[in-house]
């Protein structure tokens, strides 16, 4: 763990003692009681200092109780850290208390200079997010390394400024970390205006390209059955047919034989149903059709027919064009897909805003599962070559606390980032208005919490359980926080502190792009309504435009949760035919069959390292 102590200016302890306003009267671990000689000297939330022979103990006042006297009062405090005197005459702040004060020790107010030095970081690890609510002249700094590598969560009810706070944080990260990549899930299409267009890649349902063969088996089954549990007989047939289709395509590309085998005949080329290897949809349908023709028991024919009908229906649904564009042409586009999603080779655009609004509601969870899984596996198989922050808005939807809710693979993918992502350079940012509905093991992996106003007792209990004992009493202040105010707890801050986020420039404020102007300033016209209807209808008629990842968004459809289908048995994966530096293929736009070309002929040079990562992924 990195050393979190940092040096500050020497503190004149004796001079501060003259300004004492109370004494220590009882002591119990991290909590203590003081007698205040003046009721007007301090209030709850103020920081104080208690002198000891070796240091100053830093504490925060949590409660004040009238004592019946005309002037005095009792107060409870939580001790948070101490300022130690160093041999060179300077002082250093550290968390925890190594030398406890004695009963009767004088209590003095925290000096502004001391407060500023404790909260100020003057190195490249610090980003400024606002000012202390206690003193607006003191800038609040966050340790960016601790926040990114050990995960963070932003919690708060609707309307308190979570989206503005997230935009502020991510803009600061982009400014301070030139190599950092950020992937932001945007379920409500509100972040498109928060970043300069030169540094952002905006992905919408219209320009998203996520080939169906990059879906893991459970993800594909969930999409195929429209978020309903899969039919076991059909799922089993589909699993074998997918492995056969992958093997057939790999054989065709490697030149070892292009004939299609009957399903279940063996020899799947070492592929599992989850191997991210390309295959053609036409091959999958043909294998199923041939298998149906060889049936001796005709009573099983309806099973094949229903499965084939499902696949054709899904692939022909224009809303699923992002999955099935060029489904029958073939070609390994995984390099381009990953680069388009995570901006791996683009040095200017380092944040991707993925707008989920407009995707079919029943496939949203599957898509999020694919994206989170790809983010983690990219870090895993590249050895953390590219630092990536995966930010999940409405996190309670994708990783719910209740086991029977949500889509299992989505929760598993996010949980894997939370538990193992830091080893591979993958950070996680969670944003939710309902922390009580978020999976507790996942939120417990977030070492820094930004708690905004929350009135629900269950939500506050989650925050209290996630912070240290010395700071848990500060959670009582959460319901009283104002707009853009936040309590920051954890590894990224020297002390639990109440921050007021800086204001974003008006042009970067989060908000939906409705293209209709201000909502309440003018009445809608028939032309405005016609534009809304056109966008509404276009949600069901999206077609391939060839624009790649550069289009604009139009739609706003709120996704819903899904149920988890039964996973099939899976075989162990081994290297497959055709894997190697020369196995990637690209297709001319007018080609009707696969044309295999070498990497040095067509693949951009900057993709070479990424391709090596993908090949290692497919060997396992």
* 362 in any annotated domain: yes
| pLDDT, tens digit, 9 for 90 and up, residues 366-411 | 999 999 999 999 999 999 898 999 999 999 999 998 888 888 899 9
* 418 in any annotated domain: yes
> Which of 169, 84, 77 minimizes the C-alpha distance to 484?
169
The predicted pLDDT at position 214 comes to 94
Are residues 147 and 81 both part of a single domain?
A: no
| pLDDT, tens digit, 9 for 90 and up, residues 104-150 | 888 888 877 777 777 766 556 788 898 888 788 888 889 999 999 99
Are residues 55 and 145 both part of a single domain?
A: no
Are residues 52 and 82 both part of a single domain?
A: yes
Are residues 336 and 409 both part of a single domain?
A: yes
| pLDDT, tens digit, 9 for 90 and up, residues 513-533 | 654 444 445 677 888 788 878
Are residues 114 and 144 both part of a single domain?
A: no
Residue 307 pLDDT class (50, 70, 90 cuts): very high
Are residues 24 and 147 both part of a single domain?
A: no
> Which of 415, 478, 492, 413 minimizes the C-alpha distance to 447?
492
Task: Tell me which residue range forms the domain holding 24.
Answer: 6-119
Are residues 163 and 50 both part of a single domain?
A: no
Question: Residue written as tokens 């694919």?
Answer: 370
Helix/strand/coil for 415:
helix
* 323 in any annotated domain: no
Q: What is the distance between the alpha carbons of residues 215 and 320, in angstroms, rounded to a whole number? A: 13
Are residues 480 and 437 both part of a single domain?
A: yes
- Eight-class DSSP state of 357: B
Rounded (5°) CA angle 365-370-371:
100
Helix/strand/coil for 62:
strand
CATH, residue 179: 3.40.50.300
Are residues 65 and 146 both part of a single domain?
A: no
* 315 in any annotated domain: no
* 476 in any annotated domain: yes
* 145 in any annotated domain: yes
Q: Which of 53-67, 285-299, 445-459, 589-603 bottoms out in mean pLDDT, i.e. has the lowest?
A: 589-603
Are residues 169 and 35 both part of a single domain?
A: no
Tokens standing for residue 552 = 């604009």
* 583 in any annotated domain: no
Q: What is the distance between the alpha carbons of residues 557 and 359, in angstroms, rounded to a whole number? A: 7
294-303: which pairs have CB atoms within 8 A and are 24 or more residues apart?
A: 294/262, 300/233, 303/231, 303/233, 303/234, 303/237
| pLDDT, tens digit, 9 for 90 and up, residues 164-183 | 999 999 999 999 998 999 99
Tokens standing for residue 298 = 């005709």
Q: How many CB atoms lie within 10 A of CB 226?
A: 15
* 564 in any annotated domain: no
Domain tally, the chain:
2
Are residues 110 and 61 both part of a single domain?
A: yes
| Mean pLDDT to the nearest integer, 498-503 | 90
Q: Which of 271-285, 394-408, 575-589 bottoms out in mean pLDDT, i.e. has the lowest?
A: 575-589
- C-beta of residue 188 within 8 angstroms of C-beta of residue 397: no
| pLDDT, tens digit, 9 for 90 and up, residues 326-363 | 888 878 899 999 999 999 998 899 999 999 988 988 89
**DSSP one-letter string for 550-612:** -------------PPPPPPP-PPP---TT-STT------TT-SS-----HHHHS-GGGHHHHH
Dihedral, CA of residue 51, residue 52, residue 57 and residue 63, to nearest 10: -60
Helix/strand/coil for 411:
helix
Last residue of a domain, one of 119, 153, 177: 119
Pairing of strands 351-355, 388-392: unpaired
Q: Residue 487 pairs with which residues in a beta bridge?
A: 451, 498
- Eight-class DSSP state of 185: E
Q: How many CB atoms lie within 10 A of CB 461?
A: 13
The predicted pLDDT at position 210 comes to 94
Distance set, CA 498 to CA 110, 128, 152, 450, 551 (Å): 15, 14, 16, 10, 40
Are residues 396 and 449 both part of a single domain?
A: yes
Last residue of a domain, one of 538, 562, 582: 538
Q: Residue 352 pairs with which residues in a beta bridge?
A: 183, 201
Q: What is the distance between the alpha carbons of residues 296 and 291, in angstroms, rounded to a whole number? A: 10
**DSSP one-letter string for 80-125:** EEEEEEPTTS-EEEEES-SSPPPTT-EEEEPPHHHHHHHH---STT
Last residue of a domain, one of 538, 565, 596: 538
């Amino acid at each position: 763990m990195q050393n979190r102590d940092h040096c500050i200016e020497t503190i004149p302890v004796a001079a501060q003692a003259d300004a004492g306003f109370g004494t220590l009267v009882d002591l119990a671990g991290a909590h203590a009681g003081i007698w205040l000689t003046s009721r007007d000297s301090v209030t709850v939330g103020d920081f104080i200092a208690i002198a000891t022979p070796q240091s100053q103990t830093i504490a925060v006042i949590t409660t004040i109780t009238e004592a019946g006297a005309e002037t005095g009062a009792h107060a409870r405090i939580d001790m948070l850290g101490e300022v130690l005197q160093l041999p060179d005459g300077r002082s250093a702040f550290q968390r925890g208390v190594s030398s406890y004060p004695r009963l009767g020790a004088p209590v003095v107010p925290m000096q502004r200079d001391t407060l500023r030095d404790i909260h100020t970081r003057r190195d490249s690890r610090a980003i400024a997010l606002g000012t202390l609510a206690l003193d607006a002249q003191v800038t609040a700094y966050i340790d960016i390394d601790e926040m990114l590598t050990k995960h963070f969560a932003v919690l708060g009810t609707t309307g308190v400024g979570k989206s503005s706070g997230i935009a502020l944080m991510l803009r600061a990260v982009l400014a301070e970390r030139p190599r950092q990549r950020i992937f932001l899930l945007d379920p409500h299409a509100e972040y498109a205006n928060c970043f300069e267009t030169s540094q952002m890649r905006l992905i919408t349902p219209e320009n998203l390209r996520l080939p169906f063969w990059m879906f893991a088996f459970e993800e594909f089954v969930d999409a195929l059955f429209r978020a309903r549990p899969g039919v076991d007989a059909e799922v089993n047939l589909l699993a074998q047919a997918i492995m056969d289709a992958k093997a057939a395509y790999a054989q065709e590309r490697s030149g070892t034989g292009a004939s299609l085998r009957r399903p279940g005949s063996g020899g799947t080329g070492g592929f599992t149903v989850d191997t991210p290897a390309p295959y053609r949809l036409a091959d999958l349908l043909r294998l199923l059709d041939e298998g149906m023709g060889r049936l001796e028991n005709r009573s099983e024919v309806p099973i094949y027919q229903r499965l084939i009908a499902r696949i054709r229906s899904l692939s022909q649904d224009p809303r699923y064009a992002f999955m099935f564009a060029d489904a029958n042409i073939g070609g390994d586009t995984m390099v381009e897909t990953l680069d388009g999603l995570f901006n791996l080779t683009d040095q200017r655009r380092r944040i991707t805003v993925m707008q989920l609004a407009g995707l079919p509601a029943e496939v949203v969870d599957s898509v999020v599962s694919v994206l989170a899984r790809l983010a983690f596996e990219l870090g895993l198989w590249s050895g953390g070559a590219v630092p990536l922050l995966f930010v999940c808005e409405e996190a309670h939807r994708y990783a719910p606390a209740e086991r029977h809710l949500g889509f299992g693979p989505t929760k598993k993918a996010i949980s894997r980032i939370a538990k193992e992502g830091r080893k591979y350079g993958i950070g996680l940012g969670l944003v939710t208005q309902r922390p009580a509905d978020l999976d507790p093991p996942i939120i417990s992996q977030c070492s820094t919490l930004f708690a905004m106003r929350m009135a629900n007792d269950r939500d506050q209990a989650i925050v209290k359980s996630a912070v240290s004992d010395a700071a848990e009493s500060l959670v009582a202040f959460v319901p009283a926080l104002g707009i853009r105010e936040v309590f920051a707890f954890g590894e990224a801050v020297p002390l639990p502190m109440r921050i007021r986020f800086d204001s974003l420039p008006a042009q970067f404020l989060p908000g939906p792009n409705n293209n209709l102007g201000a909502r309440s300033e003018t009445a809608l016209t028939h032309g405005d309504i016609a534009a809304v209807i056109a966008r509404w209808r276009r949600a069901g008629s999206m077609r391939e435009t060839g624009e790649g990842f550069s289009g604009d968004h139009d739609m706003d459809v709120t996704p819903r949760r899904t149920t988890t289908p039964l996973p099939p048995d899976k075989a162990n994966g081994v290297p497959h035919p055709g894997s190697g530096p020369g196995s990637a293929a690209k297709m001319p736009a007018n080609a009707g069959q696969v044309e295999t070309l070498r990497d040095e002929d067509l693949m951009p040079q900057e993709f070479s390292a990424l391709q090596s990562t993908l090949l290692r992924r497919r060997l396992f």
